[in-house]
Structures are given as C-alpha cells and as structure tokens.
Amino acid sequence: MTTVGSAIQMTRFHWIIAALVLMGCKEPGGNEMTESVDPRSKILAAIGEINDFSLPRPLVSLETFFEGNNDYGSIGYNFYPDQPSPSEFYDLFKQIREFAEVSDVLVQVQQHEDPEAWPSTDTIWVITGASTAEVTEWLGERFQPDEFIEGIPDGVQGVETPPGCRALGIWYD
C-alpha cells in the first residue's frame, strides 16, 4: 500500500472513531460516559433507613449534605429573625474544615420527616484539636450554637478521631 493509501485509511479510521464517540459509544480504551447522580438521591442513598431510630444517626460529608440543598428547614430553622441559608452554613463549615487544627467536619443527619423535603440536621461535628473557645470564635456571632457536645454519643455513627483530636458537636435547637 502506498503512503497516500495509508493516510486515506488512517483518515477513515479517525472519522469512524469520531462518529462512534459522537453516537455515545465507548471511545477506544475509554469508558462509557455515566450520568451523575443528583444531590438529593446521593444523600438519600447515604443515609439509608433514616426514620428507623433503632439505627445510629448517620454522619455525612459537608458536600453530601449541602450540595443541592436549598431547604431552609434542613438546618438552623430556629434562627430568628435572620435565618442563614444552607449555603451560608456550607460556606462557614467548609472554611472551618480548612483550619490546620481540624481533621474533618461531618453532618449528623437526624431525620427525614417529609419525603419531598431535604433530610434535616441539628448537629455538625468538628473533628479537631482546637479548644471549644477557638471553635466558638470560628463560628462568629451569627452561627453560635445552642450547645456544644463533647464526644459522639451512643446512637450516632462512630467516627475515627486522629490522635490529639476530639469530636465536638455544634448543636442547633
């Protein structure tokens, strides 16, 4: 076969591959594209049988609880008169998670009463070596909790705490 013939055959090959990719087939050596799971389905899968109170309350990541969450009833619903939005809570706790003294920040999902609403929480867990006074400062005046909880109690999913850290619950009534 001549060099021109090889070039034409290679061009045809590339056109066929391009057509297959555009039609949604697998790219050679690649994977099929998958649809991403919507945020609500993601949290519902993560929390399981949340209304079975014989099971421990699940802990989920900030991303799982807050991404896609626009339900003001899901957190801080007793803040009056200026209730923060779920995205404001998310922004604050993402910043807190970035502090050197913080290992992680997790959301304790408490219940899911309304099947059409987002599941709700009343407690955010900060895994940290910082003092309660430091965490109080990080929260600022607007996000002060009703109470701090030292250590994860029975009835809540366990979490590993690195040496020098503890689980500090930030509880909003």
pLDDT in tens, the chain (173 residues): 544 444 444 445 444 444 433 344 333 344 444 456 788 888 888 888 887 888 889 999 999 999 999 999 999 988 888 899 999 999 999 999 999 999 999 999 998 888 888 999 999 999 999 999 999 999 999 999 999 999 999 999 989 899 999 999 999 98
Is the same domain home to 45 and 10? Answer: no
Task: List strand residue ranges (DSSP E) for 49-119, in order.
Answer: 59-61, 102-111
Is the same domain home to 23 and 74? Answer: no
How many domains are contained in the chain? Answer: 2
* Partner residues linked to 124 by β-bridges: 107, 170
> Six-digit token pair at 42?
């993601």
Q: What is the pTM of this model?
A: 0.76
Is the same domain home to 54 and 102? Answer: yes
Is the same domain home to 81 and 67? Answer: yes
Q: Which domain holds residue 78?
A: 39-171
Is the same domain home to 18 and 53? Answer: no
Residues 6+ apart with CB under 8 A from 90: 62, 66, 67, 69
Q: What is the distance between the alpha carbons of residues 139 and 165, in angstroms, rounded to a whole number?
A: 18
